[in-house]
Amino acid sequence: MRRSLPCTSAFALTLHLLWACGSSSPDPDAGVDVADLGVSDAWEADAGTSDLGVDAGPVDALAFLNVLESSDDMARVENPAKPGVKYLARVDGSELPSPLIEDCYFQNMRRWEWHVQFLQQAFPEFEALGFDTYVSWVLRKATRRLWGGDVRLWPGVTHPLTERQGVVSFMVYTDQTEAFTLELVTEVHGRLSACMPFAADLLVVVPSHPLQASSAEVLRADLAARGIGVVRPRELIEGLSSESYSVGVGYGFLRIVPSGQYLQDYGPRDVVVVQSAPNDISIVAGLLSADPQNLHSHVNLRLQEKGIPNAAVPDVYDNALIATLDSKLVRYEVTETKVDLRPAALAEAEAFWAANRPVVPEPRADLSVTQIGRYADLGFSDSDSYGAKAANLAELRNLLPAAHRVDGFAIPFAAYHAFIQQGGLEASIEALLTDPRVREDAALKRVRLNELRRAIRAAPFPAALEGEIQAAMIATSGGQAATVPFKFRSSTNVEDLDALTGAGLYDSRRGCLADDQDGDELGPSACLSQEERAFLESRLVELRAEQAQYPDRSWLSEMILDLEGDLSEEKTVARAVRRVWSSLWNERAFDEREYYGIDHRLAFMGIAVNPAFALEQVNAVVLTNLSGTSTNSFYRVVSQVGYESVVQPADPTVVAEVLTFRRDGQSVVGVQHLVSSSLSAGGAPLWSNENLDILGGLVFVVQDHFETSVYPELRPLRLDLEVKIDRSGEVVLKQVRPYLTSGP
């Protein structure tokens, strides 16, 4: 377990930045906490009691305290190796999740570092609690049932109102789209003052992300009038030059996120500089923040577990040499005594990556299969020709009743390969892959990948293949095929595998046969029904009004552009296929393959094709066979009303419904509705009892079949299924893949 190490000096060399640390033991004033957030349910397998190390002292069997009467009480539940105590507290006007009944819960940090660990293991009723439920209960304004955060003593910090030394900081965990309000801070301050009577006059609020920080400055005077002081995160470590959280070495492209902005579109080959540590993070090569970080956060712990270097340097944005390294290949090292950043040579980076990359099997592709395959004639054994996504869809199609499956066909890897050859694109791909600058300069890599994708989208489409696809669409949907929208979905040989999911890396597109047959390139699509058009136009009006009212909601612009495109563009089959093919060269997909050491020349794009869903009632993701603390596994269903994605919601403020159930033979039992959808009128459940029974029955059949006939070597087998309730009310299973977690 890493400690927080304060540093006392800093110096910079030309194109070589090094911040030196002068202490070998933790300083109680050396750190500050940010939001208690994680990345996904993959976290769940790590939810056992933490190894606190020899410094933590004896582990008290106590689970929590409801009141901290004195600093002695605080010491009982604080891990001395990692100062600070996490709290959960009642939200005014909201019903506490049963069996919680008290105003405050200060968890024993010697036993549990994370809120979800604490809830799962201290309360048997919460053993099936997942991170998405925790996020809804604590972080999301629309469904918040608990305040969550961290309190910590800072003997050397001056109170901004009383000017006396010594404060107790508190943070309030929210997602990064929620600003502080006067009411929010006042309520939490009042709750903690009552639950920590010894600290009532010492409490100060510390923002944990940029929007909180900017709103706190606006509210500073009003908060002061209510006796609430505000302390900036950097003020807690003033005079220090760096703080180490996770020791390690990483090589990657330096990405400087402008101060105050959020981190987006990053990958395992990025060394990221940010103002505040991101609330959710996947694999990166390294993290360097200007603000101090939470010693107990999921982000921090996840990087520690993987040995990914992570530190805070308060003046990182003020260092003139940093700008010269932006988008360049760097070596980043964090030790107990220094934080070191310097330019790196490609050869040393490649040697490091080769020695440290995870081992995955070499991707397979059978290019001898050239014909389009109907799901009715395919199965999992055809993965090497069409991709696991298409092959698994075929398994579902041939396993489930017609009303609950999708039918369609698959375009083989060989079609993509022939297109690349016939279009003269092999030379462009080879030039990109053999140019060493692409692996040294992220900006150049981005330009070259964009150029390649544009070239793929502009290349002539094979007339013979177009005819075969059109015939397959007619065979699937009969005489109505021309105006039935079809979904063309990526099915590469490097996704949906039992060792690599590749989720979210590649694209799906809509195609309409009538748009190919109308003799022009003018929209809108002939497959856009009047009912769907009316819905999209209404949604567009709503989003434009929301954008006018909340111009800072940056995600609305992309949502509006997507809707405008859906309402105005033609969606020809050839365009859809080429766009899916070109997504094999998306930057995140490229970076992911680099991270795993996969030869890009061995990656091929198949396509799974089926009629698209329109105006569906519910979108859902089902995770099967998850482990609780009992021997009886459970199933989790995360759902949203039909127009909003569960997997990649465009609007980060919406909250999905979460429920769990257990299996008794072929029956659904023990249903727990944990979170209501923020888009459901009055929070009404999205699943009726009847539909939930149907869903459970279908999922159990799939689980049993895939355990015995598809993935017999994976034990225990957990599946990730995408499900819809379509516009007619039928429960339809539309995708299945192994659900990969890091633990048993």
7 falls within a domain: no
Dihedral of CA 152/153/157/161: which sign?
A: positive
Strand partners, 274: 289
Is there a single domain that holds both residue 379 and residue 479?
Answer: yes
Is there a single domain that holds both residue 145 and residue 281?
Answer: no
What span, in angstroms and rounded, lies between the C-alpha atoms of 203 and 192? Answer: 8
Among candidate residues 199, 218, 237, the one where a domain is terminated: 237
Is there a single domain that holds both residue 134 and residue 41?
Answer: yes
Is there a single domain that holds both residue 543 and residue 604?
Answer: no
What does the pLDDT read at residue 304? 79
Show the beta-strand stretches assigned E in 581-666. 605-611, 618-626, 634-641, 657-664
359 falls within a domain: no
* CATH number of the domain within which 396 lies: 3.30.1490.20
338 falls within a domain: no
What does the pLDDT read at residue 586? 93
Please, what is the end-to-end C-alpha distance for the chain in angstroms?
Answer: 22
Is there a single domain that holds both residue 387 and residue 462?
Answer: yes
135 falls within a domain: yes
Question: How do 248-256 and 243-246 pair as beta strands?
Answer: unpaired
What span, in angstroms and rounded, lies between the C-alpha atoms of 409 and 3? Answer: 54
What span, in angstroms and rounded, lies between the C-alpha atoms of 486 and 476? Answer: 10
Range(s) of the domain holding residue 622: 618-738
Determine the 3-state secondary structure of 81 from DSSP. Answer: coil
Question: How do 286-289 and 64-65 pair as beta strands?
Answer: unpaired
What does the pLDDT read at residue 254? 92
Which amino acid would we find at residue 664?
A: D
Is there a single domain that holds both residue 599 and residue 627?
Answer: no
Question: Phi/psi at 504 (nearest 5 deg)?
Answer: 80, 5
13 falls within a domain: no
What span, in angstroms and rounded, lies between the C-alpha atoms of 673 and 675? Answer: 6
Query: Quick one: DSSP state of residue 3?
Result: P
163 φ/ψ sector (left φ>0, alpha ψ -120 to 50, else beta) = left
Strand partners, 334: 248, 339
Please give the helix or strand (H or E) that residue 204 lies within, else none.
Answer: strand 203-205
* Contact criterion met (CB below 8 Å) for 295 and 35: no
Is there a single domain that holds both residue 626 and residue 720?
Answer: yes
What span, in angstroms and rounded, lies between the C-alpha atoms of 230 and 223? Answer: 8
What does the pLDDT read at residue 597? 87
**DSSP states of 692-744 as a string?**
HHHHHHHHHHHHHHIIIII-TTSSS--EEEEEEE-TTS-EEEEEEEE---S--
What does the pLDDT read at residue 502? 77
Q: Take residue 187 and report the two structure tokens written for it.
A: 């309520």
Is there a single domain that holds both residue 663 and residue 703?
Answer: yes
Is there a single domain that holds both residue 41 and residue 157?
Answer: yes
347 falls within a domain: no
Among candidate residues 206, 237, 268, the one where a domain is terminated: 237
26 falls within a domain: no
676 falls within a domain: yes
What does the pLDDT read at residue 346? 85
Show the beta-strand stretches assigned E in 567-617. 605-611
- Of 153, 223, 217, 221, give the one whose Cα is nearest residue 188: 223
What does the pLDDT read at residue 649? 74
Number of CB atoms found within 10 A of residue 236's CB = 23
Is there a single domain that holds both residue 173 and residue 192?
Answer: yes
Show the beta-strand stretches assigned E in 436-570. 486-492, 508-511
Is there a single domain that holds both residue 248 and residue 218?
Answer: no
Among candidate residues 552, 584, 611, the one where a domain is terminated: 611
Instruction: Work out the angle between the directed axes of helices 555-568 and 530-549 (0-180°, nearest 10).
Output: 150
Per-10-residue mean pLDDT, the chain, length 744: 33 43 30 27 29 44 92 83 90 92 95 92 89 90 93 85 89 92 97 95 92 94 97 74 84 88 78 81 85 70 80 81 81 86 84 86 94 96 96 96 96 98 95 91 91 96 95 91 93 86 85 89 89 90 89 81 89 95 93 89 96 92 82 87 77 85 92 90 92 96 96 91 94 91 45
Provide the domain count of the chain: 5
Determine the 3-state secondary structure of 606 from DSSP. Answer: strand
Is there a single domain that holds both residue 191 and residue 279?
Answer: no
